[in-house]
Amino acid sequence: MQASVSSLSISLPNSTFRSNIRFCGLRQQALGFQSVSQSQLNKSQRIRIVGRKSRLQKRLVSVSASDSDNGSPTKSFDYDLLIIGAGVGGHGAALHAVEKGLKTAIVEGDVVGGTCVNRGCVPSKALLAVSGRMRELQDEHHMKALGLQVAAAGYDRQAVADHASNLASKIRNNLTNSMKALGVDILTGFGTILGPQKVKYGKVGFPDNVITAKDIIIATGSVPFVPKGIEVDGKTVITSDHALKLEVVPDWVAIVGSGYIGLEFSDVYTALGSEVTFIEALDQLMPGFDPEIGKLAQRVLINPRKIDYHTGVFATKITPAKDGTPVIIELTDAKTKEPKGTLEVDVALIATGRAPFTKGLGLENINVETQRGFVPVDERMRVIDANRNLVPHLYCIGDANGKMMLAHAASAQGISVVEQVSGRDHVLNHLSIPAACFTHPEISMVGLTEPQAKEKAEKEGFEMSIAKTSFKANTKALAENEGEGLAKLIYRPDNGEILGVHIFGMHAADLIHEASNAIALGTRIQDIKFAVHAHPTLSEVLDELFKSAKVNASVTKPVSEPVAV
Amino acid sequence: MPALSSTMTEGKIISWIKSEGEKLSKGDSVVVVESDKADMDVESFYDGYLAAIMVEEGDSAPVGMPIALLAESEDEIAAALAQKSSSPAAATTTTTDPSPDSTTSNETPRGITNANISSRSSVANGAMGSSVHPASEGGKRVVASPYAKKLAKELGVDLIGLVGSGPNGRIVAKDVEVAAAAKVSASGGAAVASEAAKPSTGAAVVELGTVVPFTTMQSAVSRNMMESLAVPTFRVGYTITTDALDTLYKKIKSKGVTMTAMLAKATALALVKHPVVNSSCRDGKSFTYNSSINIAVAVAIDGGLITPVLQDADKIDIYSLSRKWKELVDKARAKQLQPHEYNTGTFTLSNLGMFGVDRFDAILPPGTGAIMAVGASEPTLVGTKDGRIGLKNQMQVNVTADHRVIYGADLAAFLQTLAKHEKPERLVNKEESKETCNNNQRKNFSHGMKVERRGEEDDDVDNEEEKMDMLWEDLNEKFSRKLVADSDMSSPDRDVQISCVKTLKWSKTNGHLFSGKKLSILLLMKILMKKVFVVHNSRSSIKNRAW
């Protein structure tokens, strides 16, 4: 231990002239480890060493000593890349790092898979799969129109809950195995940054282990955000973490927040027979969505269902149910701050967003100040310290940096970082990252909303146009009797650049990728409109959309560079 | 507010394209309205000036409510504005048919708890705050689930005053449905009970040549009447001889017993034997056998109909039932009926007899299985089986039933049982009637002796039999009641009692065989009853009785 610490303290002054020397050293080391990993014998040896950290430390110190004998830089690391947090972001980065030949380790204090796999996208999709089917089976009118006769549909709550937890554990195992198979070391414990390129980790009650890595990625993700005044008891006042276990299907559930999480849960709960009350602080439900899509979604997803809502109010105080009294929610006007009454419900689900999980990361050790908990980063995910300087070799991806709190965005950011540390500059275009809400029907989007595009058009002085197509005109949608839906394209008629695409309708989440890929690759409408779509498919909705756009094709100007947030 | 779709009930003003004072020509888009389906431009059908906007942007208004005033000329703008501020409903230049009622209701400020609830001032004023929800602040706030609110709006049910059956007294969808069904059943009978309020003076001064929109209650009636068309109903009529009933009525009228209560009681007792007639078909797939027999009786009230419900009419004695009925009618007139007092009926009675109507036909209230239309009881010449002609009081009843659950034979059997209540004393029972029973029995006893001596004809013999029946039944009922009361006794005792009752029942049937010895049997019965009661009382030490 002593030895390793001293070796690291030596590395500090060297960091000023790291650029080219480090580069060579990295190459050598990477190659060396790659050969090790190929050898079956050495691999098993390494796994054993990981188990007993002190031995590893000594051995590595001796290795570095031998390196220096060979004339390499004295600095040497346990790993090329260390990722703190084995969520979807960390996993994506780890896989890509191995592909790039980096020796990679991942530190996880909880369970592999993070929020998405264990408490987020994955189990919620299992519940939504159930709710979608329930909805279909309960819709007598719809069934009749298809000529189907179905007896009353029912469900077994525990079996539904099991489906969600089974799916989560299956995906978790898949994730774990995929990393193990590639030789990524999974280190158990909470990681804390001790200094540049140095991290300690360990379980509570066990001695800490200290390891070094050339580059470190923070991917610690987020936890449900609970506003002040709300007391979460996990039974009657819950967050998505609890709700996904589906321990109860309450008669009446108030959902605080009408974003993705709230909407998806309203879909699940109403399909299973609950009644829902939305509490939204902003004046409109679904504030994050394109207004037109939000309005249509409200007509389909809210108004005909057993849902009511209070907008423009804060849930300032929520008291869990106790001794026969229901959950009591005190509402306050968002603008005037005056009390706006009280609600009594069976369960309150707090879906007010997510807060970064960055406490205990040891950011103070490297002079980094979080902003509302988020780790400040530049467009290349490099961490910025309190003096607005970049912290070398430290990156932060995913929910912890707050740029775009989506699992696949975290993964994309992780891949971008790996590209950078393995020698290729890369900037991720966040406007090409699609987002989806898995209600029935689904909502998906990529790029700018109409108001955002309008603002940008005014600022940059270009013309903006909008094209729309309806699912009602799509053969496949009509065959499924699911004609409700809209696709909306926001574009520049002068050069054919796609600014944003928003879809509300059947399988919208799967349809968006044609648009997101086009944005990512800079494909212009006048080019993509000639691409052929199989008939009859839902993809033809987008085909129609592109074809209906009126682009001044004679203008051939290169599409603007990818935009980073 | 124009109806932009067939399902639209209210619209929200997104924006006014024209502003006050602007000139409009036919076909101009004036306003953008959001309906349940889409946002639409609304055009003007007339040339003129947009004089006054009555529903501001962002506000909602029900279909048919004026949203703006249109003036034909510029001069009239000022007049229209004045109208807007003074009495908007009186405006003759409104774009739609004005309705003072809906205007005022729209102006009622909406709190967050009763947003989406159309609160009619007339009902809101009523002291109907009876919701037991802890947070409802003594009924001032309405605590209703989201779906209940939606449904209430859809069905035109007022949530204020509804008693919730959900957790913590919350109003749930079921309560709203029941309330809506009750409104229908109120109108379903299309009949007026004797206690009904006289037609209100207000109704008499209807201005001819005007179109008066339905009140909430009336539109609920209208809607539910249409709904009833979906139920396959049929009718079975029966003529019931009511001599015995009338006699009994005369006897106990002084004790505050009403004919309605007696009819309800008789019906309830017949329903006990025919539970299928008390059932209903809720989903088109199954019978719903109701656990209690709740007789709803149609009553006309100011501007509508309501069906106060006599709950558990089979179990409550006739005197309590009569008192209950009086109370319900008083409440109905004061519009203070609680929902459970008018929407829990399982069988409906509609009586127009007091107006001399001899027969009519009722519409089945949705959610129930049958309704009985009762005509007047009138002296009728009838031929008896032995070839004589006599005068009997007869009454025609006509039952309308849902044939999905109740078949012709069911109704026939039910009516037969009902008609057999020519021994209606059976209707009189239970604790409070003890004294009356006692008196009756004594009278019967002496009467019986007289009859025996004179050796009168068949009718009187029948009467005697009835009276005996009554005695036996009284006895049996008393004992079965005691059995329940004494259920904490050791089992051997109970067995003894049960066998005793059984024996008595058996002896009742035997009684008919010894028709010549009626007197002695009556005497025997009296003795038996006394004896058993003495034994019983001594053991259970219940307070002294008139025996």
Residues B320 and B454 in one domain: no
With CB atoms and an 8 Å threshold, state whether B170 touches A310.
no
Model confidence at A19: pLDDT above 60 = no
B403 catalytic residue (yes or no): yes
For residue B131, tell me if it sits in a domain.
Answer: no
Spatial distance between the Cα atoms of B325 and B263, rounded to a whole number of angstroms: 12
Neighbour-count burial of B12, counting CB atoms closer than 10 A to its CB (0-12 exposed, 13-18 middle, 19+ buried): middle
Region A214-227: mean pLDDT is 95
B466 and B362 co-located in one domain: no
The residue of chain B nearest to residue A311, with distances taken between CA atoms, is B112
Whether cis (ω within 30° of 0) applies to the bond prior to A536 is yes
Same domain? B501 vs B540: yes
Note the pLDDT tens digit of each residue in A20-64.
333 333 333 333 344 444 444 444 444 444 444 444 444 444 444
Say if residue B412 is in the same domain as residue B520.
Answer: no
> B10: which strand partners?
B62
Beta-carbon count within 10 A of B7 CB: 10
**Contact residues on chain B for A326, CB-CB shorter than 8 A:** 135, 167-168, 170
Q: Across the interface, which of B141, B147, B168 has its CB nearest the CB of A326?
A: B168
Q: Domain span at residue B184?
A: 137-213
Crossing angle between the packed helical segments B434-454 and B458-485, to the nearest 10 degrees: 150
φ, ψ of residue B4 to 5 degrees: the values are -95, -10
Cα(A242)–Cα(A348) distance, rounded to whole angstroms?
11
Please choose, from the candidates A255, A249, A298, the residue with its C-alpha nearest in 3D space to the C-alpha of residue A274.
A249
Contacts of B113 in chain A (CB under 8 A): 341-343
B152 neighbourhood in chain A, CB within 8 Å: none
Give the orientation angle of helix A53-69 with respect to helix A40-51, to 10 degrees.
Answer: 120
For position B432, what pLDDT does the model report? Answer: 38
- Amino acid letter, residue A166: N
Catalytic sites of A, residue numbers? 535
Interface touch A308/B146, C-beta < 8 Å: yes
Question: Could B113 and A276 be called an inter-chain contact, meaning their C-beta atoms sit closer than 8 Å?
Answer: no
Rounded to a whole number, what is the distance in Å from the CA of B172 to chain A's nearest CA? 9
Whole-angstrom CA distances from A78 to A105, A428, A560, B63, B395 are: 9, 28, 42, 74, 103
> Among residues B395, B426, B457, which one ends one of the domains?
B426
Interface subset of B 31-50, CB within 8 angstroms of A: 36-39
- Residues from chain A contacting residue B112 (CB–CB below 8 Å): 310, 313, 331, 340-341
Q: Is residue B241 part of a domain?
A: yes
Angle at the Cα of A482 (from B40 to A134), degrees rounded to 5?
115
CA angle A283, B153, A331 (to 5 degrees): 35
Report how far residue B240's alpha carbon sits from residue A154's, in angstroms, rounded to the nearest whole number: 48
CB contact under 8 A, B37 and A299: yes
Segment (H or E) for A29: helix A19-38
Interface test with B, best of A144, A249, A275, A280 (most B CBs within 10 A): A275
- List the single best residue of B110, B147, B176 to mutate versus A (max A Cβ within 10 A): B147
Residue A116 tokens, joined: 């998405």
Highest mean pLDDT (candidates A67-71, A279-283, B353-357) = A279-283
Q: Write out the DSSP string of A377-436.
A: B-TT-EEE-TTSPEEEEEEE-GGGTTS---HHHHHHHHHHHHHHHTT------GGG--EE
Instruction: Return left, alpha or beta for A155; rule: phi > 0 is left, psi -120 to 50 is alpha, else beta.
Output: beta
Bigger pLDDT: B500 vs A119: A119
* Residues 6+ positions from B509 with CB-CB distance below 8 Å: none
Instruction: Check A310 against B149: CB less than 8 A apart.
Output: no
Q: How many CB pairs under 8 A join A and B?
A: 58
Chain A: give the shortest CA distance to residue B146, in Å: 5
Of A252, A295, A310, the CB nearest to B145: A252
Of the residues B274, B403, B421, B536, only one is catalytic, namely B403
Q: Supply the pLDDT for residue A384.
A: 95
Cβ of residue B143 closer than 8 Å to a chain A Cβ: yes
B185/B321 same-domain check: no
> Which conformational region is residue A433 in: left (phi greater than 0), alpha (psi within -120 to 50 degrees), or beta?
beta
* Residue set of the binding site of A: 125, 191, 220-222, 257-264, 280, 353, 399, 405-408
Mean pLDDT in residue range A458-469: 94
Contact: A251, B166; criterion CB under 8 Å: yes
Compute φ and ψ for A178, nearest 5 degrees. Answer: -65, -35
Chain B residue nearest residue A340, CA to CA: B112
Token pair for A190: 């909470």
> pLDDT-derived band of residue A546, with 50, 70 and 90 as boundaries?
very high
- CB count within 10 Å of CB A461 equals 7
Chain A residue with the nearest C-alpha to that of B114: A341
Task: Give the pairing type, strands B23-24 and B48-53.
Answer: antiparallel
Q: Which residues of A are annotated as a binding site for FAD?
A: 125, 191, 220-222, 399, 405-408
Residue that the structure tokens 């069988």 belong to: B347
Are residues B174 and B246 located together in one domain of the fold?
Answer: no
In a domain, B357, yes or no: yes
What Å distances lie between residue A407 and A115, A120, A434, B326, CA to CA? Answer: 9, 9, 11, 69
Domain assignment present for residue B130? The answer is no
Q: What is the mean pLDDT of chain A?
A: 85
Q: Which long-range contacts (CB under 8 A, 24 or more apart) does A163-166 make?
A: A163/A126, A163/A127, A163/A129, A163/A130, A164/A123, A164/A124, A164/A126, A164/A127, A164/A244, A164/A245, A164/A246, A165/A123, A165/A245, A166/A126
Which residue of chain B has the CA closest to A339?
B112
Residues B224 and B373 in one domain: yes
Residue B73: both structure tokens together: 């000329």
How distant is the Cα of A299 from the closest Cα of chain B, in angstroms?
Answer: 7
Q: What is the reported pLDDT for A75?
A: 62
Residue A242 CB-half CA count within 13 A: 16
Residue appearing with tokens 């992780």:
A414
Last residue of a domain, one of B426, B447, B477: B426
Helix (H, G, I), strand (E, B) or coil at B240: strand
Q: Which of A33, A84, A344, A362 is nearest to A215 (CA)?
A: A84
CB atoms within 10 A of CB A369: 12
Q: Percentage of chain A surpassing pLDDT 90?
A: 73
- Mutation for B interface: A252, A310, A331, most B CBs within 10 A: A252
- Work out the minimum CA distance from A306 to partner chain B, whole angstroms: 5
**B111 contacts chain A (CB < 8 A):** yes
**Between A195 and B25, where is the model more confident?**
A195
pTM of structure: 0.56
How many domains, chain B?
A: 4
Cβ–Cβ below 8 Å for B146 and A344: no
Query: Is B129 a domain residue?
Result: no
Which of A251, A303, A341 is the closest to B145 by Cβ?
Answer: A251
**Pairwise CB contact (< 8 Å): B146 & A275:** yes
Average pLDDT over residues A381-398: 94
- Across the interface, whether the CB atoms of A344 and B113 are under 8 A apart is answered no
Alpha-carbon distance values, A259 to A326, A402, A403, A503 (Å): 25, 16, 17, 16
| B63 assigned to some structural domain | yes
Taking every pair of Cα atoms in chain A, the longest distance, rounded to a whole number of angstroms, is 80
Identify whether A493 is preceded by a cis peptide bond (ω within 30 of 0): no
Question: Is the domain of B251 the same as that of B394?
Answer: yes
Residue A23, CB-side half-sphere exposure with 13 Å CA sphere: 7
* Closest CA relative to residue B442, chosen from B536, B530, B332, B312: B530
Q: Which residues contact B407 (CB under 8 A, 6 or more apart)?
A: none
For an interface test with A, the pick among B114, B137, B170 (most A C-beta atoms closer than 10 Å) comes out as B170
Task: Determine contact, residues B1/B65, Cβ cutoff 8 Å.
Answer: yes
CATH number at residue B165: 4.10.320.10
Are residues B177 and B154 both part of a single domain? yes
Closest CA to B24 of B52, B64, B55: B52
Least confident segment among A2-6, A69-73, A343-347, A474-478: A69-73
Rounded to whole angstroms, how far apart are CA atoms B344 and B533? 38
Sorted by sequence, the CB contacts under 8 Å of residue B81 that are 6+ apart come out as B51, B52, B69
Tokens of residue A502, six digits: 């928003």
Identity (one letter) of the amino acid at A194? L
**Contact predicate B450/B464, CB 8 Å:** no
Q: Are residues B98 and B113 in the same domain?
A: yes
The answer to whether residue B99 is domain-embedded is yes
Whether A344 and B143 lie within 8 Å, measured CB to CB: yes
Q: Do A306 and B150 touch (CB under 8 A)?
A: yes
Q: Is the same domain home to B511 and B469? A: yes
Residue B543 DSSP class: P
What are B56-61's contacts with CB under 8 Å, separation 24+? B56/B13, B57/B13, B57/B14, B57/B15, B57/B16, B58/B12, B58/B13, B59/B12, B59/B13, B60/B10, B60/B11, B60/B12, B60/B13, B61/B1, B61/B10, B61/B11, B61/B13, B61/B106
Asked if the Cβ–Cβ distance from B133 to A344 is below 8 Å, we say yes
Q: Of all helices (H) and strands (E), which one includes residue A499?
A: strand A498-505
Q: What is the 3-state secondary structure (H, E, C) of B363-398?
A: CCCCCCCEEEEEEEEEEEEEECCCCCEEEEEEEEEE
CATH at B365: 3.30.559.10
Tell me the nearest-neighbour CA distance from A347 into chain B, angstroms. Answer: 12
d(CA A528, CA A489) in angstroms, rounded, equals 13
Give, to the nearest 10 degrees, the angle between helix B173-188 and helix B216-228.
80
As a whole number of angstroms, the distance between CA B448 and CA B442 comes to 10
Interface of B with A in 168-227 (CB under 8 A): 168, 170, 172-173
User: Is position B76 within any domain?
Assistant: yes
Q: Are residues B453 and B387 in the same domain?
A: no
Whether residue B170 and residue A344 make contact (CB cut-off 8 A), yes or no, is: yes
Shortest Cα distance from A273 to chain B (angstroms)?
11
Contact list, A299 vs chain B (CB under 8 Å): 36-38
The CATH number of residue B58's host domain is 2.40.50.100
Mean pLDDT per block of 10 residues along chain B (547 residues) reads 72 82 80 74 79 81 80 75 56 39 37 36 34 47 86 83 79 84 59 39 59 75 82 91 83 82 88 90 84 88 79 86 87 76 87 87 89 90 83 90 92 89 57 40 42 44 56 56 47 45 46 51 64 53 45
**Distance of alpha carbon A58 from alpha carbon A8, whole angstroms:** 13
Residue of B nearest to A329 (CA): B135
Neighbours of A228 (CB within 10 A): 6
